[in-house]
Amino acid sequence: MKDEPMLRLLQTKILLAILAALVALASAAIYQQHQAHKAAVLREQERQRDEQFRKQVEQNKKQHNSAAGKEGNTWRSYVP
C-alpha cells in the first residue's frame, strides 16, 4: 500500500504528458489550417489583381487599336 501514492503520481505524470502531446498536436493542426486559409486568401487576391490587370490591358488594346483602325479614313479625307 506504500506504493499506491507513487503509482498515482506516476499515472498523473503520464496523463499530463499525454495531454501535453494532444495539445501540441491540436495546436499544430490549427496552425496548419490557419496557414492554408491565409494562402487561399492570398491566391484569391492575386487572381483578382491578375483579372483586373488583364481587363486593363484589353481596354488599352481597344483604345490603341481603334485609333489605328481609323487612320486610313483620316488620310483619305486629308486635304493639304
Per-residue pLDDT, 47:
96
8 band by pLDDT with thresholds 50, 70 and 90 = very high
Its pTM stands at: 0.57
Q: How confident is the model at residue 60 (pLDDT cuts 50, 70, 90)?
A: confident
CA separation for the pair 16, 58 (Å, rounded): 63
Distance of alpha carbon 32 from the chain centroid: 13
Residue 77 confidence (pLDDT):
66
* pLDDT tens digits for range 25-59: 999 999 999 999 999 999 999 999 999 999 999 88
Instruction: Name the one residue in this structure whose C-alpha cell is 493639304.
Output: 80
Amino acid at 26: A
| Grid cell listed for 23 | 495539445
